[in-house]
Amino acid sequence: MNKSTFLILFIISAITLVGCEKSVEVAVLSPDTATIEESFTEAVKTRLSKTYPITMQVEGRIGRIDLEPGDRVEKGETLVEFDRVPFEQAVAEAEARVQELKASIEVKKDNRMEETAHNQTTAMVEASHESQKAAAAQVDAQRARADRAAKELKRTEDLSKGGVVPEQEFDDVVLAAETSNIELREQQFTLAAVGAFVVISELFPTLVSQYMERETLEIAVLTHQVAQAEAQLENAKHRLSLAKVVSHIDGIVLTREEQGEGNFAAGTELLTVGDLSDLEVIGDVLTQDALKLEPGSEVELSPSAAADRVIGRVGRIEPAGFTKLSSLGVEQQRVNVIVDFAQVPENLGVGYRLRARFITDRKEEALLVPRYSVLQDSDNSYYVFKVEGGTLKKTPVTLGLESDLELEILTGLTEKDRIVAHPDTTMGEGDKVKVVEEE
């Protein structure tokens, strides 16, 4: 075969091959108008917004705790038997002490005897002064009589020298003078004795007054002691009031920390109770996701992706974030989000792990296509392949909301368009295709 013949055969084969090129088989679909929800999913767990630790409010001895986790309790119900005898005895002793001190004050206040003694001693002082005056008057009178007797003796002595006065009369005058002097000395002694008695009697009212003042001071001391005893009584009564272990709410026992029986210090935790109607959910989310949330944002809660879902609402977003390592060891900034149940499910307890889907946005009647139908270009733009007349047309699209399975198309497509359901990067503009399935 010469060269010209070979060239002709090659050209014919090439033309034949081009004419026999087969089309690529594809499945196509059309955009759908529906509702789309943008969301993210995190693992969360249940907890109670309020728990009530049941503790030993005061040191003492309790009996055995028979309650088990899950047992229901009522508000005011006695949960643990407390040995109250030592506290009741302390109250009784404190009350007796208060009464004893008050009785002592009443005795001290009864100063009738002291007042009587004061009045009597005052009267005695006044009487002694009068006696002193009378004794002084007696001394003066007796001194005058003694002076007259002395003068009479002098006159009689002068007369007796002349023999005028008989000896017997002279002797009587001498005796009278001596008697007057003796009586004067007696009166003077009596006056001195009365004076000494006056000095002594004047001390009695002072002593009685000092005794009464001391009684007043003792009453003040006892009054202070009564105040202290009453404070001790109130403390004993307060400790008695604390010597009980009761439930603060209607709820259930969550945990039991101590079994009893025995002595326990104040502050020892015995039980924890709570109300399952206070059940809420807490989970940590990425801070960039938390920015899309606000109080009231809807949350779907379920034990797993396939389980029935319970609706909740974001209650609050804590203000402080924290750093947490991901499962791959990458540091992430996260923040706690609290979710409230619209209605608490009966089968949930405390500490249950759930799957939470936080809905950040929703749009009705959005134009949607599956995520797998959209490709991303090297410039980070997005496109799809339209099927028009058996060929592909690369069509740029603008995306809106995104869900796990679907994307919202803002521009580039209509409901009437048909696009390749599962495109790949080997496809190109103008490629021939054959539609084998329409989704």
Domain extent listing, the chain: 22-35+364-438, 40-49+275-362, 51-83+243-273, 93-241
- The pLDDT value recorded for residue 21 is 52
43 class by beta-carbon count within 10 Å (0-12 exposed, 13-18 middle, 19+ buried): exposed
pTM, two decimals, is 0.60
Please calculate the CA angle 161-162-168 and round it to the nearest 5 degrees.
65
Model pLDDT, residue 18: 43
Q: In the predicted model, what is the mean pLDDT of residues 45-65? A: 90
Residue count (the chain): 439
Distance CA 283, CA 263 (A): 40
Helices marked H in 243-344 — which ranges?
Answer: 287-290
Q: How far apart are CA 357 and CA 306, in angstroms?
A: 13
Q: What percent of the chain has pLDDT over 90?
A: 41
Check residue 420 and give its pLDDT. 94
Distance CA 430, CA 347 (A): 58
What secondary structure does DSSP assign to 82-125, as a single string? B--HHHHHHHHHHHHHHHHHHHHHHHHH--HHHHHHHHHHHHHH
Nearest to 373 by CA among 432, 413, 430: 413
pLDDT-above-70 percentage for the chain? 90
Q: Write out the two tokens for 352.
A: 């249950």
CATH of 51-83+243-273, one of 2.40.50.100, 1.10.10.60, 3.40.440.10, 3.40.190.10: 2.40.50.100
For the domain with range 22-35+364-438, which CATH number is right: 1.10.10.10, 2.40.420.20, 3.90.245.10, 3.40.50.300?
A: 2.40.420.20
41, two tokens: 């999913």
Cross-strand bridge partners of residue 78? 246
The C-alpha atoms of residue 417 and residue 413 are separated, in whole angstroms, by 6
Residue 126: what pLDDT? 79
* Dist CA 130 CA 206 (whole Å): 20
The neighbouring-strand residues paired with 280 are 47, 340
312 vs 159 pLDDT, higher one: 312
Report residue 245 as tokens: 């272990």
Say which range, 169-183, 256-270, 377-391, has the weakest mean pLDDT. 169-183
In whole angstroms, what is the distance from residue 145 CA to residue 152 CA? 10
User: Are domains 40-49+275-362 and 51-83+243-273 of this chain identical in fold?
Assistant: no
Strand order in the sheet with 269-274: 51-55, 269-274, 251-256, 72-73
Helices (H), 162-252: 167-242
* Residue 117 Rama label (left phi>0; alpha psi -120 to 50; beta): alpha
| pLDDT, mean of residues 155-167 | 71
One-letter amino acid at 384 equals: V
Q: How many CB atoms lie within 10 A of CB 323?
A: 8
pLDDT at 22: 60
At the topology level, CATH places domain 40-49+275-362 in Elongation Factor Tu (Ef-tu); domain 3 (2.40.30)
In whole angstroms, give the CA distance from residue 381 to residue 404.
19
Contact 268, 57 (CB under 8 A): no
Highest mean pLDDT among 39-43, 186-190, 218-222: 39-43
CB distance 258 to 264 below 8 Å: yes
Is residue 321 within 8 Å of 336, Cβ to Cβ?
Answer: no
The pLDDT confidence band at residue 9, using thresholds 50, 70 and 90, is very low
- Tens digits of per-residue pLDDT, 190-243? 878 888 877 777 777 777 677 667 777 888 888 898 899 999 999 999 998 888
Give the burial string for 131-141 (b: 16+ CB within 10 Å, else e): bbeebbebbee
- DSSP-derived secondary structure letter, 213: H
Instruction: Determine the pLDDT at residue 7.
Output: 44
Q: Do 340 and 312 form a contact (C-beta atoms < 8 A)?
A: yes
Checking if the pLDDT of 330 tops 50, the result is: yes
Quickly list DSSP for 136-182.
HHHHHHHHHHHHHHHHHHHHHHHHHHTT-S-HHHHHHHHHHHHHHHH
DSSP 162-175: TT-S-HHHHHHHHH
Q: Is the pLDDT of residue 376 over 90?
A: yes
Give first-to-last CA distance, the chain, whole Å.
54
Which one of 1.10.3470, 1.10.287, 2.60.40, 1.10.1740 gives the CATH number of domain 93-241? 1.10.287
